[in-house]
Amino acid sequence: MTMSEGDLAVAELRFIRTETLEQQPPPSSLTGPIGWARENLFSSPFNIVLTILIGLLVLWIIPDLLRFMFFDAVWTGADRDACLESVQNRTIGACWPFVWERLPYFIYGSYPIPERWRVDIFFVLLAVGVAWLLWLNAPRRDIGVVYSFVVLPIVSFILLHGFEAIGLPVVDTVYWGGVLVTMVVASVGIAFSLPIGILLALGRRSNMPTVKLFSVVFIEFVRGVPLITVLFMASVMLPLFVPEELSPNKLLRALIGIAMFSSAYMAEVVRAGLAAIPKGQFEGAMAVGLGYWQMMRLIVLPQALKITIPNIVNTFIGMFKDTSLVFIVGIFDLLRTIEVSRIDPKWATPVTSTTGYLVAALFYLVFCYGMSRYARMTEARLGKADRR
């Protein structure tokens, strides 16, 4: 083997490295926080302007909010004097003792104090049901479904409303209030809207004319009327036509109104999902000999519901917040109990209302953000199939 001319030329070169250079870290301007900021926050003039504007907005809001909620806040006190600037001679932020004192009212409303343990048990049972259904790796989720949709409603009704035969005094629903009512209304709305909504959506796409007509009329009628109107009709007009004994109580009227309303919206969401499923899926299911319900249950609905998860959760979140509209018909949900409390002359100060509304905002934020995070998680998990 002889060396070619080219190889000789290379061998005569003086500067040739015999070992590879050690890898250098990238320049400091491209790594760490600075690099990240350059790449993400200040990558273009437009981005720079946006970053600065949003930064200013945050700087404008956050310090004041923190000052109001923590640094200037009043933490203890017996009555309004503790939260009055003219008495304390300092800037006053949130009036937390007002919230501490009123907290039981925010949670239970006027529910009789000796019976409040029943509400506590209801909250625990509800939490168990929700966790059982939502935690995807939970054991025996089939029992969980039965528990949440059959056992829980019956037990909760007996527990909250009372049942003389087993020694639980009846507590009329006018005494219910606060978080209790918000939770009852929201969970009834959510629990009813999905199954009824699916049935209505299937009905609307059905080939049977009566079923189709009923579904279309129901959905369009209920969707075409504002929720407030539905609640008004249910609470004001209904008692005029029905004798006193037969007329359902106020809370039940509102629950029926909300369940109808949310079902109609849910039906449209689910229908959108059904429409997005390719025809081949239906035909394939029929070709392997599945009946209508089997086809829907095993092939179509799982796919349809999966793609509509963001919309379903969006509807749930909307509904959770809409529960506060029941105050219009004189039901004391959380927002209403706060509204009532801020008027209490014992705590009337310039900051009382703000503090009360802050509590409401935090409550709704925690629950709605929780729902939205859970939906993202489920979406990500179900989306794995599509990326395979």
Can you give the binding site for another protein, defined by CB under 8 A?
79-80, 84-86, 101-102, 104-105, 108-113, 172, 174-175, 177, 235-236, 239-241, 243-244, 247, 250, 328-330, 332, 339-341, 343-346, 348-350, 352-353
- Least distance in angstroms from the C-beta of 327 to another protein: 9
- Least distance in angstroms from the C-beta of 246 to another protein: 12
- Least distance in angstroms from the C-beta of 314 to another protein: 30
Residue closer to another protein, measured from CB, 39 or 85: 85
Q: How far is CA 302 from CA 39, 84, 198, 248, 299, in A?
A: 40, 58, 12, 37, 6
The span from the CA of 301 to the CA of 308, in Å, is: 10
- Least distance in angstroms from the C-beta of 198 to another protein: 33
Residue closer to another protein, measured from CB, 7 or 172: 172
**CB distance 270 to 198 below 8 Å:** yes
First to last CA, the chain: 52
Helix, strand, coil fractions of the chain, as percent rounded to 5: 75, 0, 25
Residue closer to another protein, measured from CB, 88 or 294: 88
Residue closer to another protein, measured from CB, 55 or 112: 112
For residue 247, give the nearest of 258, 260, 234, 259 by alpha carbon: 234
Residue closer to another protein, measured from CB, 58 or 361: 361
Tokens 């009382």 correspond to what residue? 352
- Least distance in angstroms from the C-beta of 239 to another protein: 4
- Least distance in angstroms from the C-beta of 35 to another protein: 48
Tokens 């959770």 correspond to what residue? 320
- Least distance in angstroms from the C-beta of 164 to another protein: 14
The span from the CA of 16 to the CA of 214, in Å, is: 86
The span from the CA of 157 to the CA of 154, in Å, is: 5
For residue 351, give the nearest of 70, 96, 67 by alpha carbon: 96
Residue closer to another protein, measured from CB, 42 or 175: 175
The span from the CA of 322 to the CA of 320, in Å, is: 6
Residue 306 has phi, psi (to 5 degrees) of -60, -45
- Least distance in angstroms from the C-beta of 122 to another protein: 17
CA-atom Rg of the chain in angstroms = 30
Residue closer to another protein, measured from CB, 86 or 210: 86
**370-379 own/partner pairs: CB under 8 Å, 24+ apart:** 371/313, 371/316, 371/317, 371/320, 372/313, 372/317, 374/134, 374/313, 375/309, 375/310, 375/312, 375/313, 378/136, 378/309, 379/309, 379/310
Q: Residue 73: CA atoms inside 13 Å, Cβ hemisphere, count? A: 19
Residue closer to another protein, measured from CB, 204 or 336: 336
- Least distance in angstroms from the C-beta of 89 to another protein: 11
Residue closer to another protein, measured from CB, 206 or 353: 353
